[in-house]
Homo-oligomer: A and B are copies of this chain.
Amino acid sequence: MTVSITDVARAAGVSASTVSRALRGRPGVSEEVRAQITAVAAQLGYIASQSASSLASGRTFTIGVVVPYVGRWFFGTVLDAAEQVFSAAGYDVLLYNLGSPEARKRFFTKLPVRKRVDAVLSLLIPEAEEAAALRSLGVPLATTVGGPLPGFTVVGIDDRAGAESAVRHLVNLGHRRIGMISGTSGPLHWTTPIDRRQAYLDVLADAGIEHDPALEADGDYTVQGGERAMIELLAASRPPTAVFAQSDEMAMGALRALRRHRLKVPEDVSVVGFDDHELADVMGLTTIAQPVAGEGAEAARLLLRQLDEPDAEPSRHVQMPLRFVLRETTAPPNPRGPQ
């Protein structure tokens, strides 16, 4: 019932190989024959079987995308952009959502992508063995998170520079007691929280401000965590007049905690985030914007390029530009407030 390549060949009065060549735009077919075959194929509604094609050629025209949590804004946005690039180039996307430890383990032990994909885009930071497992696939690899990783093309941002401009903004406004809500370090290779924290320390030192450990709290990169962290900071003997949250989601949690404490933002406390979450604008959050969709699209493009030119050097590191976005959650410290 389903029309195969031989059906098309018969209807067009040619051989199957000619149909194959014609439809895939390969050379060695006269234009008239190609046109005729194309017409017949369209009329018959012929679509090549992916399985048969990739079994015969080894190519799958499919990209595997590995994500820790699709529902989260950051990952959803990266995935969205990457998928558009892939599908525009004729590639399908196999999605693996590895939120739970079981799913993650299952994926890396069974490696269901084996022989199923031409390349892999990982939005999660692989542990050492996981990275090795991916490399064993023998296909181009890329990621949009974490630092340089052998065998991977990585598209990222300058976490250090971004965090610096955020904290410097607070310093320039006149703040001296500047708190930080950070994310847990997570996997070993995840340099982001470390880099952002280092920038915070550097700017403070540079401004001659002594670092107070009581002004740092862990927000776990979640809204709830950010809220908890802010509450913690407010409980300090001398609470901060400004806070740098390492992500917008934690910053939003902080805003909520402040509102519950009847503290005004930015009059009583300033808050600056990082990422430029889609809702940061609605909440008036001052932040460091990173081109999330751009990162996904760029990683996808680099992967496709490697597929086209297998000779080019396999891995590289691209840094995307950051942008400081001034909104309504930052202001000079309140002179009547607590110092």
A83 at the interface (CB under 8 A from B): yes
Give A274 Cβ to nearest chain B Cβ, in Å. Answer: 17
- Jot down 18 A-B pairs with beta carbons below 8 A, ordered by A: A47-B115, A51-B52, A51-B60, A52-B55, A65-B95, A71-B77, A71-B80, A71-B293, A73-B73, A73-B76, A76-B76, A80-B99, A83-B97, A84-B97, A92-B96, A93-B94, A94-B95, A253-B282
Q: How far is the CA of A87 from the CA of B107 in the complex (A)?
A: 9
Known: A51-B60, A87-B96. 5 other contacts (CB 8 A): A50-B51, A79-B97, A87-B103, A255-B282, A259-B284
Question: CB-CB < 8 A to A223: which residues of B?
Answer: 278-279, 281-282
A111 at the interface (CB under 8 A from B): yes
Which A residues between 1 and 40 are near B, CB-CB below 8 angstroms? 2
A49 at the interface (CB under 8 A from B): yes
Question: CB-CB < 8 A to A279: which residues of B?
Answer: 223, 252, 279
Question: CB-CB < 8 A to A253: which residues of B?
Answer: 282
Q: Mark A46-90, 1 if CB is under 8 A from B, else 0.
A: 010111101100001010010001111101110111011001100
A237 at the interface (CB under 8 A from B): no
Q: Mark A87-117, 1 if CB is under 8 A from B, else 0.
A: 1100011111101100100110011101110
Q: Which of B77, B84, B95 contacts A100 (CB 8 A)?
A: B84
Closest-by-CB residue of B relative to A91 is B112
Give A82 Cβ to nearest chain B Cβ, in Å. Answer: 9
Q: How far is the CA of A112 from the CA of B54 in the complex (A)?
A: 14
Given contacts A255-B282, A282-B223, contact A103 B80 (CB under 8 A): no
Q: How far is the CA of A73 from the CA of B255 in the complex (A)?
A: 21
Copies of this protein, total? 2
Say yes or no: B80 contacts A87, CB within 8 Å. no
Residues of chain A at interface, number, CB under 8 A: 57
Q: How far is the CA of A93 from the CA of B96 in the complex (A)?
A: 7
Q: Which of B79, B112, B256 contacts A282 (CB 8 A)?
A: B256
Q: How far is the CA of A54 from the CA of B50 in the complex (A)?
A: 10
Question: CB-CB < 8 A to A161: which residues of B?
Answer: none
Question: CB-CB < 8 A to A255: which residues of B?
Answer: 282
Q: How far is the CA of A110 from the CA of B111 in the complex (A)?
A: 29
Closest-by-CB residue of B relative to A328 is B259
Give A244 Cβ to nearest chain B Cβ, in Å. Answer: 18
A283 at the interface (CB under 8 A from B): yes
Say yes or no: B51 contacts A252, CB within 8 Å. no
Q: How far is the CA of A75 from the CA of B92 in the complex (A)?
A: 19
